[in-house]
Structure formats: C-alpha cells, structure tokens
Structure 1
Amino acid sequence: MTSLAARMRAQRLSHPASDATDLLASIFALQAQDVPAARLAARARGVRSLDGPLVRTWAMRGTLHLLHRDDLWVVQLLGPTFIAAGRRRREQLGLTDELCARALPALREVLTEPVDRAELVRRLAEVGVVLDPGSQAPAHLLAFAANSGVLCRGLDDTYRLLRVDCEPRGVDELWRRYRRAYGPATPDDFAAWSGLPKRQLEDLPEVAASPTRPAEPATPTGVVRMLGHFDTYLLGYRDRSAALAPEHAPLVQTGGGFLTPHVVVDGRVVAVWRRDGALFTVRPFDDRAERPDVAEEVADLGRFLDVDARLTWQ
C-alpha cells in the first residue's frame, strides 16, 4: 500500500465511518475550535451527525478537539504540559497560582448548568474570583481549568463541568493511537501534532499501523474528498510535502494554523475551494491538468449543508 493510500485509509477518507464513535475509534480526535469545520471533517469521513459520548475540550497542542469520552485520559496526559507552558502568560494577566487554585473549586460550585463565558465570569465574581471580562484572563483561566480536567466546552460553545475518570495512560499509548490514525508518520510529526516537547518523546517505541485493517491496493482508486478548514488530514503532520507540494502550500497554509478548504484526490491536495452560499468555487493548482471530479462531493456538501449546491471553477 502506498503511504498516501495508507493515510487516506487511516483517516477514514477512503472507507467511511459508520458513526462518530466509529470515526473517533480510528482517528482519535477531530480538531474542533471551529464547530462547522469539525462537522465538515466528519462529513468527509461519512459521519453526518456528531452524536454519542463525545466531549469537546482542550487536548493536542492546547487546542479544542472532539474526543470520545473513553479517551479523556489524554487530558490527564497533556494537561500538565500546557498548564506549565501557559504559566507565564497567566501571571501577566494576574492569574496567580493562588487564584487559579481557588478558581477550580469555585468553578465546580457555580457551573451547575451549561453557560456561556460571560455568565460564567459573572458567577465566578459572585464567589470571589474576579476577572476582567474585557481581557484575555477569562480565556486563559478557563483553558487552565480544562487542562486540569474540570470543565469542557459543548458544541454550542457553552462551558460545562467535566469528570475525567479514565485510567491514566502514557505517551506510548498516545503514540500508538497517533500512528493508527496518521501512519505512516514520524516522531517529528507526532511532536507537531501532540504539542509535547521532544524530550518526552526520546524513547518512543516503533509501533506499526493496526494489522486488523484489510489490505488496500497500491494503485490509485480515484477517491476525491473536499476538506474544510482545520482538517486533520494535513494538521497531523509536521512535514506535509507528501500530500501537499511545497510550491502549492502557501495557497492552503495561510498562517496561524489556518488551512484553506482543499480538494484531495488519492491523498494529494490538488485544489482549493470556497463556498459562497450555495455556490462552490474550485481552484485547481494546475490549469493544464484534468479538473478533479468533484461533482459528487459538491452534491453531497449541498445535501449536508441543506443548500442547492452549484459548482463553478476559477
């Protein structure tokens, strides 16, 4: 099997998942700071609804991800790293260790129902944890609480209490799950994906991709997928050149971790796309090459987004 065919299969882009639980069992997590983008990522993998025992919280790279509840051990594993990394910024915002320590039981006291950030800040002030709502202090305190396993964030952007009661697991288990979801991949790719410092990754075992997956032909199969912002297919790697030619990377990687929606054919990124209402505009990288056959994908996006989809080319 070619490396790109293996990656497409690992990411469930060439054999769709049956539901969100099945999907996360394979790919471990969906990047989810942008909920519409997370839904598009699930759609490209055959999942129409993000239902089930799912939790949206801060995980890899200190970024919001959608996880299965059984995988919340990753918060226990990664949380201390991101808490330590954010300490200096918290102190600059007046979030001392003493205040943060008081805030955790206060959050458990006041977070009796899902609420938005403004309401949560108001409730914290009532119990003596006063934050400037116009500053970055609330965001950093709530990220600290999430990395401490106290709260999470719903798909509706409200905050709610979280209980992490999984058995603790180590870096080797996260490495195994990463390789299953993103292999073939390297420890450098894993460091970029996880956000863990390299000193914690020096003794990673070589873990092969799951042997339970059926074999796949090495020849191209013509799989076409239209992927959205922040899709995990590219975000999972430090070196993306196997799937995205360096000369085309600036059209997709526009800075700040932002990925322009892109078209993947047999694992290679061949175009970018945008949506304006019901109109989907595709811009191929190579005007001389045959246009990618995106008609079925555009039609499926139209059904998913409940619009009368139309395709145009740029």
Structure 2
Amino acid sequence: MTDVPFARAHAQLLAGPRGGDVAEVVRKVVALQAQDIRANRLGVRVRSAGLTASDVDAACASGAVVRTWAMRGTLHMLAAEDVAWIVGLLGPRFAAAGRPRRLQLGLDDETTARGVAALRSIVAGRSLPRGEIVAELASHGVVLDPKSQAPAHLLAFAALTGVLCRGGDDGDEPTYALFSDWVGPFETLPEEEALARLAARYLAAYAPATAEDFAAWSGLTLRQARAGFAAIDPVEAPIVDELSVRLLGHFDTYLLGYRSRELAVPAEHDRRVQSGGGFIMPVVLVNGRAVGTWRQERKKGTLAVRVEPFGELPGGLGDALLAEVEDLGRFLGIPAHFHSAG
C-alpha cells in the first residue's frame, strides 16, 4: 500500500535526492509560493543541495525564474519558460474574478484600462518598485491611494493579463517590469493543450493526487481539472526508503498543493499550522508528515531554530534535524543552532 505523504514528499523533492539549481527546483514542482520573498527562498532551500539565498536572488535577477500571479491568482515563482502558457491558462479566470474587488477600490473597467495603458509606458525598459509606479501613474492621470489595496490590484490585473510580471526585485522589495521586456512574448497555448500539460506537470510533482486536488491547487474549475486528468496517463514516482527530515518555511506549496492537508498534518494540530487568514506556519516534516512547527530567532550574529513539536518527536531524528538546521544557517549565511521547546 502506498504511503501517500511519503510519496508526495518524494515528488516534491522533500525526500530523496534534492535539486541542483534554482530553475530546476522550481520547474520540478511547477511553481513555488512567492507572496513572501524570504519564505520563497526557503522553499527553494528545502528542495535543493548547496544553494544559497543569494543564488535564488541571482536566478530572479537573471530571469531564469519569474515571480508573478498564477495559481489561485496568487504570487508564485515559475521557471521562465513556463510563465506565459501557465498565466495564459489561469490568468483570465482570476482577472475576471477580481473585478468586484477592483470596483470596490475605485478601479472600474475604464480606470483599469487606463491604468494598464499607463503601466505599459511607465515600466517600459525598466523594473520599478510599486511606490515609484504609483507616483508615475498619477502623472498619467491615474491617481491611486498608495495606502489602499488599489495599486496591488491594478498590478495583479496587469500581470494576470500578461502585461506585467515581477522584475528582479531589489533585495526584499518587489519590483515590476513589462512581461515582454522581462520574459519575452506572451505566447499562450490552446486551453485543451494547456490543461493537459499542467495536469501532467502537477501529477509529476504532487502525485498521488486527484482531480479535486489539482483544482484546489491551480484554481481551475473541477470540470477543467477533470478534463486535464482525462488527457494524460497516471504517474508513479520511484521512492527511496530512507528517513527524510525537512524544515519547510511559511506558505510552503507542499501544504497548499492539495484539497486538504489531512494526510500531512494531524487534524488536532491543523490550527497550529494554519493560524488564520491563510497564514501557513513553517513545519518540521518527517517522511511527508508534519511533526511540529518551527521558528527562527536571530541574536548576536547567530540563528536559533526553535522547534515546537506536536508531541514527542519520533526517535532517531537528532542527526537529520541538526543537519537541516545547519543547512538553513549555511543557506542564509549565518551560524545556526537547534533548540526544542518540547
């Protein structure tokens, strides 16, 4: 009988061999959550060997990977060659779904269209932070309250329609560029072909999974998800029977890639993992199952990793957990040590 969480961890590069470079890791799992840049870096770290946080930033700066709005209409990091066809499939659905909120923010269809036209001119040939974009929008007659959500929703609409994407970013500050400048032509696929391709990529990275899981992860309708699954063959990934301990960061896609977390997180501890408002906590993952949460504390040039287990930790984790803590420190460029609150 298949150990589903362990098999999923293998498919996600969270057990067995790790990836070798940033684009390879992102390509393997299709996309990584990217609404939090620091957590996004950790999503690469936990699936790779030998990379550093600066390697992730360099991959973004080079355009090898791109942060933009994709699955479920939220920010993700994708390999550059995947952005156009995935956004072309998912973007129109979420651009339309966001219209009621845009109207609430004063972004009616006419204002949104003028805003997008202005964005094409403002960021042409360069990558700018949101504050500068908002200031220049005003000079084009599109005045948005910088303290409101209107700028974010206009930028998201432009990204979901293939006009913008995130640029290389300036440290932890997001920047935005024209899609055509940063990625290339916005070349999409026919829906049937795109559905089949995305379903195949999803299963390669998330199996065992159902069409319902695929719909929940992508934001597609269940009808679309089932059509995508019907067009491809089942996927079985090889599994190496060895202990796997990983420190997943906030919002890790492993915990957001299915209709439910029930196979990965004990039901009685789910509220400790999702503390409200879609906020997913970092977890200690053992063979695909969460056994506790963790947090990092920086003090006097060192990093303390504090683990809060759900109960008594399984035996034999010591060396593997310590290795993960030390690798986290290496990735971030700061000495790290382990502390358990249990």
TM-score (norm 2): 0.85
**Structure 1 SS opposite 2:136:** helix
Structure 2 partner of 1:254: 275
Q: 1:129-144 counterparts in 2 under 5 A?
A: 129-144=142-157
Q: Is the 8 A contact 2:26 2:44 kept in 1?
A: no
Picking from 325, 330, 333, the partner of 1:298 is 325
Please tell me the residue identity of whatever aligns with 1:103: G
Picking from 229, 244, 254, the partner of 1:205 is 229
Q: Is the 8 A contact 1:252 1:272 kept in 2?
A: yes
Structure 2 partner of 1:216: 239
Picking from 150, 161, 166, the partner of 2:178 is 161
Structure 1, 194-203 or 139-148: larger mean CA deviation: 194-203
Q: Is the 8 A contact 2:207 2:235 kept in 1?
A: no
Deviations 1:208-243 (CA, angstroms, capped at 9, x unpaired): 4556x5x324x4x11110111011111101121111
Q: 1:1-314 counterparts in 2 under 5 A?
A: 2-14=3-15, 15-46=17-48, 48=51, 49-50=55-56, 51=59, 53-72=64-83, 73-112=85-124, 113-154=126-167, 155-156=169-170, 157-163=174-180, 164-168=185-189, 169-206=193-230, 207-208=232-233, 210=235, 215-217=238-240, 219=241, 221-277=242-298, 278-287=303-312, 289-290=314-315, 292-293=317-318, 294-314=321-341
Deviations 1:71-127 (CA, angstroms, capped at 9, x unpaired): 111111111111111111111222111122222221111113211111101111212
Please tell me the residue identity of whatever aligns with 1:125: A
Deviations 1:137-180 (CA, angstroms, capped at 9, x unpaired): 11111111111111112343011111243341422222221111
Partners of 1:216 and 1:133 in 2: how far apart?
50
Partners of 2:233 and 2:239 in 1: how far apart?
16
TM-score (norm 1): 0.92
Instruction: Return structure 1 stretches of 4+ with deviation > 6 angstroms.
Output: none
* Number of residue equivalences: 310
**Structure 1 residues 131 and 2, CA, compared in 2 at 3 Å: closer, same or farther?**
same
Partners of 1:56 and 1:230 in 2: how far apart?
15
Please report how far the alpha carbon of residue 193 of structure 1 lies from its aligned counterpart in structure 2 after TM superposition: 0.8
**Structure 1 SS opposite 2:339:** strand
**Structure 1 residues 29 and 289, CA, compared in 2 at 3 Å: closer, same or farther?**
closer
What percentage of aligned pairs have identical amino acids? 48
Q: Is the 8 A contact 2:39 2:249 kept in 1?
A: yes
More helix by share: 2
Q: Is the 8 A contact 1:150 1:162 kept in 2?
A: yes
Please report how far the alpha carbon of residue 35 of structure 1 lies from its aligned counterpart in structure 2 after TM superposition: 0.8
Partners of 1:304 and 1:171 in 2: how far apart?
36
